[in-house]
Structure 1
Amino acid sequence: MANRRQFLAGLLASGLAPVPTWADAGSPAYLSAARLPDGRYVLTGLDRAGTERFRIPLPDRGHAAAAHPTRPVAVAFARRPGRFALALDCRDGTVLAQLDSPEGRHFYGHGSFDATGQYLFTTENDYDAGAGRIGVWDVQQGFARIGEFASGGVGPHDIKRLPTGGFVVANGGIDTHPDSGRLKLNLPTMRPNLAYLSEDGDLLEVVEPEQHLASTRHLAVRGDGLVAVGMQWQGDVARAPALVALHRRGGPLQLLGDASALEGYVGSIAFSGDGTQVAITSPRGGTLEVFDVKTRALAQRLAEADICGVAAAQDGLLATTGLGRVIHADNKARTLNAAQLAYDNHLVVIAQPG
Structure 2
Amino acid sequence: MLEPSKFKTGRRAFLSGLCAAGFVPATGWASVGSPRYLSAAREASGTYVIVGLGADLSELFRVVLPARGHAAAAHPDRAEAVAFARRPGVYALVIDCGSGAVLHRLNAPQGRHFYGHGAFSRDGSRLYTTENDFDMARGCIGVWDVSAEYRRLGEIDSGGVGPHEIRRMPGSDDLVVANGGIETHPDSGRAKLNLPTMRPNLTYLSSAGAVLEQVELPELRRNSIRHLAARHDGLVGFAMQWQGDATVHPPLLGLHRRGQNARLLKAIPQVQRRLRGYGGSIAFGADKQVALTAPRGGLMAVFDTDTGKMVSLLDEPDICGVAGAEQGLIFTTGAGRLGVSGLRRKAVDLQFDNHLIALSADL
Check whether TM > 0.5: yes
Residue of structure 2 equivalent to 1:304: 316
Deviations 1:203-258 (A, max 9, x none): 11111123110000011111111111110000122202111111111221101014
Residue of structure 2 equivalent to 1:313: 325
Alpha carbons of structure 1 residues 273 and 119: separation in structure 2 relative to 1, 3 Å: farther
Residue of structure 1 equivalent to 2:131: 124
C-alpha separation in 2, matches of 1:229 and 1:290: 14
Q: Does 1:261 align with 2:274?
A: yes
Q: Does 1:138 align with 2:145?
A: yes
Secondary structure of 1:82's counterpart equals: coil
Shift of 1:129: 0.9
Secondary structure of 1:21's counterpart equals: helix
The 5 Å alignment of 1:263-302 reads 263-273=276-286, 276-302=288-314
C-alpha separation in 2, matches of 1:107 and 1:325: 30
The 5 Å alignment of 1:2-13 reads none
Identify which of 261, 267, 291 aligns with 1:252.
261
Alpha carbons of structure 1 residues 194 and 353: separation in structure 2 relative to 1, 3 Å: closer
Secondary structure of 2:187's counterpart equals: helix
C-alpha separation in 1, matches of 2:137 and 2:216: 18
Identify which of 337, 344, 347 aligns with 1:334.
344
Q: Does 1:178 align with 2:178?
A: no
Partner letter of residue 312 of structure 1?
G
Residue of structure 2 equivalent to 1:44: 51
Instruction: Indicate conservation of the 8 Å contact 1:34/1:62, yes or no.
Output: no
Deviations 1:126-154 (A, max 9, x none): 11111111111222222222221110000
The 5 Å alignment of 1:74-89 reads 74-89=81-96
User: Which shows bigger deviation, 84-93 or 182-191?
Assistant: 84-93
Residue of structure 1 equivalent to 2:168: 161
- How many residue pairs get aligned? The number is 331
C-alpha separation in 2, matches of 1:339 and 1:75: 27
Q: Does 1:222 align with 2:231?
A: yes
Instruction: Indicate conservation of the 8 Å contact 2:178/2:227, yes or no.
Output: yes
Identify which of 185, 199, 202 aligns with 1:194.
202
Residue of structure 2 equivalent to 1:347: 356
Instruction: Indicate conservation of the 8 Å contact 1:41/1:62, yes or no.
Output: no
Alpha carbons of structure 1 residues 124 and 79: separation in structure 2 relative to 1, 3 Å: same
Secondary structure of 2:67's counterpart equals: coil
Alpha carbons of structure 1 residues 47 and 102: separation in structure 2 relative to 1, 3 Å: farther
Alpha carbons of structure 1 residues 101 and 53: separation in structure 2 relative to 1, 3 Å: farther
Partner letter of residue 72 of structure 1?
A
Residue of structure 1 equivalent to 2:37: 30
Instruction: Indicate conservation of the 8 Å contact 2:237/2:254, yes or no.
Output: yes
Residue of structure 1 equivalent to 2:15: none
Secondary structure of 1:149's counterpart equals: strand
C-alpha separation in 1, matches of 2:221 and 2:349: 40
Residue of structure 2 equivalent to 1:241: 250
C-alpha separation in 2, matches of 1:204 and 1:95: 36
Partner letter of residue 326 of structure 1?
L
TM-score with structure 1 setting the length: 0.89
Instruction: Indicate conservation of the 8 Å contact 1:60/1:78, yes or no.
Output: no
Secondary structure of 1:237's counterpart equals: coil
Shift of 1:292: 0.5
Unaligned runs of 5+ in 1: 1-19
Unaligned runs of 5+ in 2: 1-26
Shift of 1:333: 5.4
Q: How many percent identity over aligned positions? A: 57
